[in-house]
Amino acid sequence: MKASEIRNVACVGGGVIGSSWAIQYAMKGLNVTLYDINDEQLAKSHAQMVKSLDALVGHEAIAAEQKAEIVARVHPTTSMEEAVKNAQFIQESGPERLEIKQSILAQVEQFASADALYASSTSGLLITKIVENAAHPERCVGAHPYNPPHLIPLVEITQGEKSSDETVRTVYDFYQSIGKEAVLLRRECPGFIANRLQLALYREVQDLVVRGVCSVEDVDKALVYGPGIRWAIFGHNMIMQMGNPGGLTGMVKMLGNSGDVWLADMASWTHQPDNWSEIAQPGVDEEMAHFPDYVGHTNEECIAYRDKMLIEILKLHKKL
């Protein structure tokens, strides 16, 4: 199957991630079925989709009349058969437990067409384990989104030991065709790419604070108003490329021995500090208290500000 032939998508599991995927696919004009275990869960999915779409309307990312069209394109169901029988692409976003993922895949295989592609949103499990008992493991990949998938373009595709090259290529092309930015892990790796990068940086964030070099507020500020603002535009290798007339090669030379001295002084521990939240929570509370009113002083206000800014950045990236 070619990526351009995919018109019918099933989202299996309609929680935080599944509901957001459903909006993503429906916004791109695809026919979506949304499966969950009971009507109560489906009602929650519906409420979450409406809330997300209201935010998009509120920030003028979509027109008000599009909201109803998008919602109407998502067909909720508690019947797995109905959800997957006509699906060409299945996005699984069930609970993060291996035995549940394996049981969902077994149910899907009972009813799905033999050439349907299967992508698991798992954040922490390996696709090779999920497909251990599958009849068609070659059609399955890991496809880890960033929350919320309908806004954040990244999707990390993992090729498991049994995923075929053709499946990986079609899944990759499909995501790209709907405006996602797919990256490919040709081998499985815990934490995939983006979460490993985040955690590597977070180790240094924690270490700088624990060592008394700077406050929680200042380490956040250094990130947001320094590298973070550039990282919203270009990746780290590109930042190196543009940072020196000699390009990345010139920058590596310039960093030279200093870089090695910094690396030797940086954290390398493999267990996060046990008392980190006791240290960091008061720091974060203070940081929120210091924000200007337009950013907000509560979690809810800061989340609304983050989403508004995210939508503006995505518009600049021509992703909305």
Residues that bind ligand NAD (CB under 6 A): 12-18, 36-37, 41, 93-96, 100, 104, 121-123, 144-145, 147
Smaller CB distance to ligand NAD: residue 95 or 226?
95
Alpha-carbon distance 210 to 231, whole Å?
A: 25
Instruction: Provide long-range contacts, Cβ within 8 A and 24+ apart, for 279-283.
Output: 279/209, 279/210, 279/216, 280/206, 280/209, 280/216, 283/209, 283/215, 283/216, 283/217
User: Interior CA angle at 13 toward 12 and 16, to 5°?
Assistant: 135
Alpha-carbon distance 311 to 253, whole Å?
A: 38
Q: Which residues contact 186 (CB under 8 A, 6 or more apart)?
A: 159
Smaller CB distance to ligand NAD: residue 36 or 217?
36
Smaller CB distance to ligand NAD: residue 122 or 163?
122
Smaller CB distance to ligand NAD: residue 121 or 163?
121
Task: Report the nearest approach of ligand NAD to the CB of residue 68 (Å).
Answer: 23
103 near 132, Cβ under 8 Å? no
Smaller CB distance to ligand NAD: residue 81 or 285?
81
Task: Report the nearest approach of ligand NAD to the CB of residue 45 (Å).
Answer: 7
Amino acid found at 278: E
Q: Which residue is nearest to ligand NAD (CB)?
A: 15
Task: Report the nearest approach of ligand NAD to the CB of residue 196 (Å).
Answer: 14
